Amino acid sequence: MSYVLIIGAKSDIAKEVARTYAKNGYNLYLAARKCEELEDLKQDIEVRSSVSVELKEFDITAYDTHKDFYDNLSEKPLGVIVVSGYMVDQRIAQNNWNESLQTINVNYTGAVSILNIVANDFENERRGFIVGVSSVAGDRGRKANYIYGSAKAAFSSYLSGLRNRLFESGVHVLTVKPGFVDTKMTENLDLPEKLTAQPTDVANDIYNAQQSGRNILYTKSIWMLVMLIIKNIPEFIFKKMSI
């Protein structure tokens, strides 16, 4: 079976995505910084799903390494899934430029760097799929997380353009917009239960959406309605709100 490359493979969502694709017969490249920390996951997946799992050292902000990284894969992947994410409290980000820059680089600039390389290869080969995990935070800037949200907005826009470009080449591009997800990144937040997904559910949604050729996935699906409402609040009202 073909390989799927998962970028940012140490996140809770990425681990469940890896399990889901392995369960469906795909071999995996799991790429992350300090990838040796994924050894237990690798062994567990190989035992449970009888697929090949390779750990790959990868820093999404080390742009000058990205081409060599991709060129040196022993077998080019059928699909690439970018799950990398970085989020700190808005108050920290707005008062610390290094945190702002890290938020932008992990959530947008680094993803663009590696996906430009992937897209060129897939376009030439006229095959493959790309999945980018963005966020509902990118649908409208809010004072609670606008630095993180602006990076995700840029990533969503990039994926939209990439989808437009690659359509004629038969390359599928899926934009994933999770709402609240119960992960380590959100463990200190008081999240509403009915709007909060589990990583396993998000992974299953991603797999099913990619396999069916969806363009945009909100997960949980209720977030499509929530964001439709939020996006249509008039600006003169919205700027006074705390949501």
Rounded CA-CA distance 114/100 in Å is: 20
pTM: 0.95
Question: Do the Cβ atoms of 126 and 208 come closer than 8 Å?
Answer: no
Sorted by where each begins, the domain ranges of the chain are 3-238
- Separation between Cα atoms, residue 58 and residue 61, nearest integer Å: 9
Mean pLDDT of 64-88: 97
CATH code of 3-238, in short, is 3.40.50.720
- pLDDT the model gives residue 187: 66
Residue 220: asked if its preceding bond is cis (omega within 30°), the reply is yes
Mean pLDDT of 189-193: 75
CB-based contacts of 162, cutoff 8 Å, min separation 6: 115, 119, 130, 173
Q: What is the pLDDT of residues 74-84, one digit of tens each?
A: 999 999 999 99
Instruction: Tell me how far the alpha carbon of residue 61 is from its chain's centroid.
Output: 15
What region does 223 belong to: left with phi over 0, alpha with psi -120 to 50, or beta?
alpha
